[in-house]
Amino acid sequence: MLYSEKVMDHFQNPRNVGKMDDADGIGEVGNAKCGDIMKMYIKVSNGVITDVKFNTFGCGSAIASSSMATEMIKGKPIDEALQLTNKAVAEALDGLPPHKMHCSVLAEEAVRAAVKDYYDKNGIAYNPEDFRENSCAHCHE
Ligand code: FES
């Protein structure tokens, strides 16, 4: 079986799908190679992510990864969400096939882009190092 049950579950029943009209931060990222696009919305209150929504125009693994990522950052302090790695997302999904790891990278990047947007909109200082382009050549194959 190529995909774990968790991947199939999050693909078929994605959590937190949709648009958020009053989002505090929005991140949109894409992978030029496969053409998949992911949009992540966060609602922040007192430094905590109180709500998350996403829209993914992409493959099943990208949908499953974004769904899992929203579950992993919901209710978490914003700086903790920033620590979310694509590896942690893939692990929470009980693994992704190697050629699908880049789909989880998209989820990590979307979360980071949404946090950056929130910081920018609210004039909150941050370390640009935290928002470096992901340089993992393997994941971006
Ligand atoms: Fe590109 Fe899945 S094939 S994100």
pLDDT tens for each residue of 58-90:
999 999 999 999 999 999 999 999 999 999 999
Q: Ligand 1 centroid to 42 CA: how many Å?
A: 22
103 included as an active-site residue: yes
Does the beta carbon of 16 lie inside 6 Å of ligand 1?
no
Which range marks the domain in which residue 28 is found? 5-123
Q: Ligand 1 centroid to 45 CA: how many Å?
A: 32
Q: Ligand 1 centroid to 102 CA: how many Å?
A: 6
Query: Is 95 a member of any domain?
Result: yes
Query: Is 92 a member of any domain?
Result: yes
Place of tokens 């994941």: 139
66: nearest Cα among 86, 91, 44: 86
Q: What is the pTM of this model?
A: 0.92
What pLDDT shows up at residue 134?
A: 58
The atom of ligand 1 lying closest to the CA of 106 is: 4
What pLDDT shows up at residue 131?
A: 82
Does the beta carbon of 61 lie inside 6 Å of ligand 1?
yes
Does the beta carbon of 103 lie inside 6 Å of ligand 1?
yes
Query: Is 9 a member of any domain?
Result: yes
What pLDDT shows up at residue 129?
A: 81
Query: Is 38 a member of any domain?
Result: yes
Place of tokens 């998949």: 36
The atom of ligand 1 lying closest to the CA of 38 is: 4
Query: Is 140 a member of any domain?
Result: no
What pLDDT shows up at residue 138?
A: 47
Which residues in the chain land under pLDDT 50? 137-138, 140-141
Query: Is 47 a member of any domain?
Result: yes
| Count of structural domains within the chain | 1
136 included as an active-site residue: no
The atom of ligand 1 lying closest to the CA of 60 is: 2
Query: Is 128 a member of any domain?
Result: no
CATH number of 83's domain: 3.90.1010.10
